[in-house]
Amino acid sequence: MLNEKCTQEEVPPEVEERGHWGSKVEFLLAVAGNVVGIGNVWRFPYLCYKNGGGAFLVPYLVFAVTCGIPLFLLETTMGQYTQEGAITCWRKLCPIAEGIGFGGQLILLYTCMTYIIILSWALLYLVFSFSSQLPWASCDNYWNTEDCVDFSTNSTFNWTNGTNLTSAATEFWERRVLAISRGIEDLGSIRWEVLLCLIGMWIICYFCIWKGVKSTGKVVYFTATFPYVMLIILLIRGLSLPGALEGVIFYLLPDPSRLTDPQVWMEAGAQIFFSYSVGVGSLIVLGSYNKQNNNCYRDCLWLCLLNSGTSVVAGFAVFSVLGFMSHEQGIPITEVAESGPGLAFIAYPQAVAMMPLPQLWSICFFAMLILLGLDTQFVAMEVVMTSIIDMFPRVMRRAGRRESFLLFFCLICFFSQLVMITEGGMFVFQLFDYYACNGACILFLCVFETLSMGWVFGADRLYGIIKDMTGVRANSFFKICWLYLTPLVSLGSFICSLVEYQPLTFNRWYIYPSWAYVLGWALALSSILLVPGRALYKLATGSGTPRQRFQYLCHPALDDSPIQMRGTELQNMGVDLLQPFMAN
């Protein structure tokens, strides 16, 4: 009896299973929620009108076909095949390229710190939307200046005559929400209202993923679908406004002459890499929770179509409202069209304030914005968590340890980003967004990702893996992309982004100090240098001659992969069945 009790006490805690999606729908909604984000609403429509309207779709589709879709399929296949996170999958497929996984996770860490700041701003605007009068709709508030103009009551004002005048929405954003300082040198105090919203968003994100795919798979049923309901409502409302047709025409009117501008092609490529969430390992992790026989080939094609289609539809919703705003103010749409935070927190709120029932449309817009960004945020957190846990499965897959580590991760991010919600925090936010989460960093990772998988691991082997898992033979065009088109186009875009580099400025008037640019480049290089750095480290610490080390690190370790294990089991089963005959 005593021996039995001692034996029970000495049993180590059980290692929990990694788990899978509860259903195929959960995977589709999780990926859709991740790739369809705020950028589809506030970046694509602006890029479309700015770069030739409908003509912009030509470079957009070129990059989607040669880079976006092939990389989307590549990463999803890598995850589903290895059943591993964004770092450990490289140990099985191409060990020398493991630095790509580390670099992608570092970019996602930076993204987790910046993206949730946007959600905090949106939550604050949502709270203000329940006011009896929208605070950005008038100039009668304590934060307004004498140069403030209220377009909701003075829509015929000639904006061009007052060069120093600002709208009520602009003053609310800059003087009330941000209380923006003179520069990054003057950080000032923390904005406590934004701090409370930030705490609220971290709590929501924590409980969305604290149980892994078990909780994430259920949350996405709401967070990935409800934004489409809001988008359709805003689209119908926008198209019914006066001036909406002019806005839509302005959005899509093609200007073929813009296709000769290299900048147009660069921005189309950057939009594809960002909106498809390639290069950082998100799709690898999401695909890794699929079952082995899932048809990831068909899923990827439909999800890419959904992502691009959402961007186009969002453009109609945005520019119909901007057309109304232009019509009411009597100024060209070019004067009201904005991108990024300028669209979400100045232009659109200003347009909403000019509509009947402004509180209703403001609530719809910011609820949509929060939900669009929420699943992108918590999926990024889940990707980082999964990638780290898969590196130490025997330690981390114990009861309660995931929840504790997730809390630690959230607290680290929270305290690290407090500087971004100070009065000078917007300057820090822009620095991280422009350098740490830069498209050039993602392009660099994508170049080496396709070279590693296409040439070192082997495009033919990858092609066969898709056939074994899905039962479908992928189009041979993907093989051409993985070998030639995707790495060449990505490399060309990366070189162009360096050649066309422009130092960061804020609102086209503030120039950062030299030390800030050095910090920015340090953030950018931190993810890029992990690729060669990790490869050199593995070469230096391995056993054998340098040639043997290199050959070993370029050889996939597939012995314990699910498909390889299944093949070995079948082979052993066949040997056992033939054993009686072989004995004779």
Q: How confident is the model at residue 542 (pLDDT cuts 50, 70, 90)?
A: confident
Q: Which helix (H) or strand (E) holds 506?
A: strand 505-506
Q: What is the dihedral of CA 384, 386, 388, 393, to 10 degrees?
A: 170
At 505, is the secondary structure helix, strand, or coil? strand
* Residue pair 557/91 in contact by the 8 Å Cβ criterion: yes
Give the range among 29-43, 177-191, 337-351, 424-438 with minimum mean pLDDT.
Answer: 337-351
* Residue 330: per-residue pLDDT: 81
Give the range among 6-10, 126-130, 483-487 with minimum mean pLDDT.
Answer: 6-10
At 333, is the secondary structure helix, strand, or coil? helix
State the Cα–Cα distance between residues 180 and 194, nearest whole angstrom: 13
Q: How many CB atoms lie within 10 A of CB 224?
A: 24
* Residue pair 315/54 in contact by the 8 Å Cβ criterion: no
Task: Read off the DSSP letter of residue 552.
Answer: H
State the Cα–Cα distance between residues 72 and 362, nearest whole angstrom: 34
Query: Per residue in 81-97, pLDDT tens?
Result: 999 999 999 999 999 99
Summarize the confidence of residues 428-456 as an average pLDDT: 93
Helix axes 514-528, 439-451, angle to 10 degrees: 20
Q: How many CB atoms lie within 10 A of CB 360?
A: 14
State the Cα–Cα distance between residues 301 and 69, nearest whole angstrom: 7
Summarize the confidence of residues 129-133 as an average pLDDT: 92
* Residue pair 286/85 in contact by the 8 Å Cβ criterion: no
* Residue 337: per-residue pLDDT: 73
Query: For the stretch 148-160, what's the b/e string if a residue is b when 16 or more beta carbons lie within 10 angstroms of its beta carbon?
Result: bbbbbeeeebebe
Q: How wide is the angle at C-alpha 432 spanned by C-alphas 431 and 435, nearest 5°?
A: 80
Mean pLDDT of the chain: 88
Summarize the confidence of residues 398-419 as an average pLDDT: 94
Q: How many CA atoms lie within 13 A of 142 on its CB side?
A: 3
* Residue pair 436/524 in contact by the 8 Å Cβ criterion: yes
State the Cα–Cα distance between residues 467 and 522, nearest whole angstrom: 42
State the Cα–Cα distance between residues 155 and 138, nearest whole angstrom: 12
Query: Per residue in 209-251, pLDDT tens?
Result: 988 888 898 999 999 999 999 999 999 999 999 999 998 988 8
Between β-strands 505-506 and 148-149, what pairing exists: parallel, antiparallel or unpaired? unpaired
359, two tokens: 């509180």
Point out which residues pair with 510 in neighbouring strands: 506
Summarize the confidence of residues 524-539 as an average pLDDT: 95
pLDDT higher than threshold 50 for residue 576: no
State the Cα–Cα distance between residues 337 and 251, nearest whole angstrom: 10
439, two tokens: 């498209």
Summarize the confidence of residues 299-324 as an average pLDDT: 92
Q: Which helix (H) or strand (E) holds 462?
A: helix 459-470
In the numeric block, the tokens 């959402």 are attached to 310
Dihedral sign (CA 44, 49, 51, 52): positive
Residues 6+ apart with CB under 8 A from 317: 41, 231, 234, 235, 238
Annotate 193-237 with three-state secondary structure.
Answer: HHHHHHHHHHHHHHHHHCCCHHHHHHHHHHHCCHHHHHHHHHHHH
Give the range among 179-183, 374-378, 489-493, 567-571 with minimum mean pLDDT.
Answer: 567-571
Between β-strands 148-149 and 510-511, what pairing exists: parallel, antiparallel or unpaired? unpaired
Residues 6+ apart with CB under 8 A from 279: 71, 104, 107, 273, 442, 443, 445, 446, 449
pLDDT higher than threshold 80 for residue 173: yes
pLDDT higher than threshold 80 for residue 46: yes
* Residue 111: per-residue pLDDT: 94
* Residue pair 217/26 in contact by the 8 Å Cβ criterion: yes
Residues 6+ apart with CB under 8 A from 177: 121, 124, 125, 191, 193, 194, 345
pLDDT higher than threshold 60 for residue 286: yes
Task: Read off the DSSP letter of residue 542.
Answer: S
* Residue pair 182/512 in contact by the 8 Å Cβ criterion: no
Residues 6+ apart with CB under 8 A from 142: none
Of 198, 28, 23, give the one whose Cα is nearest residue 121: 198
pLDDT higher than threshold 50 for residue 17: yes
State the Cα–Cα distance between residues 393 and 391, nearest whole angstrom: 6
Point out which residues pair with 511 in neighbouring strands: 505
- 34 residue type, one letter: N
State the Cα–Cα distance between residues 188 and 424, nearest whole angstrom: 6
Phi and psi at 129, nearest 5°, equal: -70, -15
Of 488, 40, 473, give the one whose Cα is nearest residue 277: 40
* Residue 544: per-residue pLDDT: 87
Give the range among 6-10, 320-324, 487-491 with minimum mean pLDDT.
Answer: 6-10
* Residue 559: per-residue pLDDT: 52
Summarize the confidence of residues 122-146 as an average pLDDT: 92
Between β-strands 166-167 and 148-149, what pairing exists: parallel, antiparallel or unpaired? parallel
Q: How confident is the model at residue 16 (pLDDT cuts 50, 70, 90)?
A: confident
At 555, is the secondary structure helix, strand, or coil? coil
* Residue 154: per-residue pLDDT: 54
Dihedral sign (CA 514, 517, 521, 522): positive
* Residue 45: per-residue pLDDT: 87
Of 78, 410, 423, 49, give the one whose Cα is nearest residue 258: 49
State the Cα–Cα distance between residues 309 and 532, nearest whole angstrom: 37
CA distances from 355 to 97, 240, 321, 328, 422 (A): 54, 11, 10, 10, 33
Summarize the confidence of residues 317-345 as an average pLDDT: 83
Per DSSP, helices labelled H in 44-97 are 44-50, 57-63, 69-82, 88-93
* Residue 152: per-residue pLDDT: 64
Give the range among 201-210, 256-265, 373-382 with minimum mean pLDDT.
Answer: 256-265
